[in-house]
Structure 1
Amino acid sequence: MSPDDQDKLAQEWEQALQDEGDGPEEAPASAPDPAPAAPADDPGDMDPGDEALANEWAAALAQSEEVDLKKEKEQEYLSTQMKDAEFQDFTAQAKGPKPEGSKRDLDFILDIPLDVSAELGRTKLLINELLQLGQGSVVELNKLAGEPLEIYVNGKLVARGEAVVINEKFGIRLTDIISPIERVKQLA
């Protein structure tokens, strides 16, 4: 059987199934009809292989219609189960007067201890070099003399400054506060 004959046969089967579906009552889609008779104009043209192919086509079309029918029923069911979402309007509440106790009170964080350190510079030493250090040894740092000191709070750089002596004690005069953008860049 040529491909053109197969296409023609498939179209005829499809037309027959559609005509059957347009009738007053539909047959259940799960039980496909036995192979319909050959078209009236070629009664002796079909051999057993063509008949089997026609049966396969009919079964496939019936199964496809059954799946489509199931999907359609499922969509109908889901559409009856849906309901619109309801949202509360907070506009008036947001624009209205604030209650008395709603003011942010940050006093509770004032007693949190922080670790503040000032760094003159850094260096890396081997354990052997560290063990050889003694009184009067000089350790070379990675910064030059006169460069600003770095001030860390809990290990995060927050400011830079210069060393000063006041009443025989060392101190740091802050010269630059690190912006939040710079702090984020240092994290990368």
Structure 2
Amino acid sequence: MDDLNDSNGTANNSSQNMEDTGLNQRYDIDIILDIPLELRVELGQTRMLINDLLQLGQGSIIELNKQIGDPIDIFICDKLIAKGEVVVVDDKFGIRLTNIISPTERIKSLG
């Protein structure tokens, strides 16, 4: 009972206790910056029979469901987070983000 009261007999303020333990401090985002995530860029999709898959060889062409110029999908941890376009930077492929999916749209797509 003495632990709950200060020397004047009044109850301690619980928010004061939170400040003393550091629980009320601003959250530091640095703690999550080193968490690895899987990023996947999807140019398109197709469906194939196993027999057709086994016939593929070097130089084979697989037709995808998207046209040239269509935006490509960018996923993080299997969640669509953006759309973009393929660019070439110093002889390497890159992605230019053209549309970032809003958190509200991402939530709607879940259900």
For normalisation by structure 1, the TM-score amounts to 0.47
Residue aligning to 1:108:
31
Residue aligning to 1:148:
71
1:93 offset after TM fit, Å? 4.3
Residue aligning to 2:4:
none
1:99 offset after TM fit, Å? 5.8
Counting only pairs closer than 5 Å after superposition, residues 162-181 of structure 1 correspond to structure 2 as: 162-181=85-104
Kindly indicate whether structure 1 or structure 2 has the higher relative contact order, using CA contacts under 8 Å at least 6 residues apart. Answer: 2
RMSD: 2.2
Structure 2 Cα separation of the partners of residues 99 and 163 of structure 1: 51
For normalisation by structure 2, the TM-score amounts to 0.76
1:126 offset after TM fit, Å? 1.1
2:83 counterpart of 1:160: yes
Residue aligning to 2:8:
none
Larger Rg: 1
Q: How many residues align?
A: 96
Structure 1 runs not aligned, ≥5 long: 1-87
Structure 1 Cα separation of the partners of residues 87 and 21 of structure 2: 46
SS of 1:150 mapped into structure 2:
strand
Specify the code of the residue in structure 1 equivalent to 2:102: S
Specify the code of the residue in structure 2 equivalent to 1:173: R
- Name the structure with the higher strand share: 2
1:108 offset after TM fit, Å? 1.1
1:105 offset after TM fit, Å? 1.2
Identity of aligned residues (%): 55
2:38 counterpart of 1:120: no
**2:61 maps to which of 116, 138, 145:** 138
Structure 2 Cα separation of the partners of residues 167 and 100 of structure 1: 51
- List structure 1 runs of 4+ shifted beyond 4 angstroms: none
Counting only pairs closer than 5 Å after superposition, residues 1-188 of structure 1 correspond to structure 2 as: 93=15, 101=22, 102-188=25-111
